[in-house]
């Protein structure tokens, strides 16, 4: 088997993906609740006749389906976002939950481009990964009700977290964030080294410290969003299992039978 296929064939427990799923769900719930508590939902996400500060148009099909950026449409989208976040935390709905949540988050971000920071786009990117990832294979109600138990340890494909690292690298390069780029490079070196260099702690400290610094400064919208990638990046140094491949064994040499004496 080629090194590339062997690398893609790696398997590991699905715990990092499950924690990634929970982190994204909590981020969705926390972001929406903070806006509701501040009372800025009508001001930012509705059209001017409904209390918004600027005219808005329905650029997303889901917003258009809900009669545009109106009070009722925003309430429905926010409600769906909260329900989707709860389902992600609980691990219900398998891949359907992140797929619907991806549509809701994309619709909300399309309402007012002035309120969207570049880091906010990491949230739909993470939801896109969860659509293809076995994120409810463990630590979920799906696993408890329909799988191998709430804390299932069955190995799952590990290539999803490779895509997560690639996403963070691409985002850091396009945003120009040296902190995110440094943390992603450190974790990528750890992965390429074949887990001989455990650089999880330095990478995590750079990522969390940089995001907290931006959050305290208040100049970067969505400063803490990249932290949701920490569980899946931390799992980049986790225990991997290579899928065994059966190779047919050579037949045993036949031994001549002695001829009976006459």
pLDDT (tens digit, 9 = 90+) per residue, 9-25? 778 888 888 999 999 99
Residue 249, pLDDT > 80, answer no
Nearest-CA neighbor of 55 among 47, 63, 67? 47
pLDDT (tens digit, 9 = 90+) per residue, 123-149? 999 999 999 988 999 999 999 999 888
What is the spatial distance between Cα 126 and Cα 148, in angstroms, rounded to a whole number? 25
The rounded mean pLDDT for the chain is 82
State the Rg of the chain over Cα.
24
Q: Which residues pair with 157 in a beta bridge?
A: 11
pLDDT (tens digit, 9 = 90+) per residue, 39-83? 999 999 999 999 999 999 888 999 999 888 999 999 999 999 999
pTM of the model: 0.84
- Residue 10: φ, ψ to 5°: -65, 150
Q: Lowest-pLDDT range, 3-12, 51-60, 105-114? A: 3-12
């Amino acid at each position: 088997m080629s090194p590339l296929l062997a690398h893609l064939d790696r398997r590991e427990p699905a715990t990092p993906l499950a924690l990634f799923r929970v982190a994204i769900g909590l981020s969705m719930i926390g972001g929406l609740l903070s806006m509701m508590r501040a009372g800025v939902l009508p001001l930012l996400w509705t059209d001017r006749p409904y209390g918004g500060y600027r005219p808005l148009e329905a650029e997303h099909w889901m917003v258009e389906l809900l009669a545009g950026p109106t009070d009722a449409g925003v309430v429905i989208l926010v409600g769906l976002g909260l329900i989707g976040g709860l389902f992600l935390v609980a691990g219900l709905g398998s891949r359907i939950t992140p797929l619907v949540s991806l549509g809701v988050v994309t619709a909300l971000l399309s309402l007012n481009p002035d309120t969207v920071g570049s880091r906010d786009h990491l949230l739909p990117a993470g939801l896109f990964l969860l659509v293809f990832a076995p994120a409810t294979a463990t630590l979920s109600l799906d696993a408890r009700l329909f799988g191998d138990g709430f804390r299932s340890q069955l190995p799952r494909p590990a290539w999803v977290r490779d895509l997560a690292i690639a996403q963070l690298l691409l985002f850091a390069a396009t945003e120009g964030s040296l902190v995110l780029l440094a943390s992603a490079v450190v974790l990528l070196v750890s992965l390429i080294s074949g887990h001989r260099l455990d650089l999880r702690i330095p990478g995590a400290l750079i990522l969390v410290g940089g995001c907290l610094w931006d959050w305290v400064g208040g100049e970067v919208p969505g400063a803490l969003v990249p932290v949701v990638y920490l569980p899946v990046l931390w799992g980049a140094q986790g225990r991997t299992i290579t899928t065994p491949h059966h190779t047919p064994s050579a037949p045993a040499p036949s031994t001549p039978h002695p001829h009976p004496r006459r």
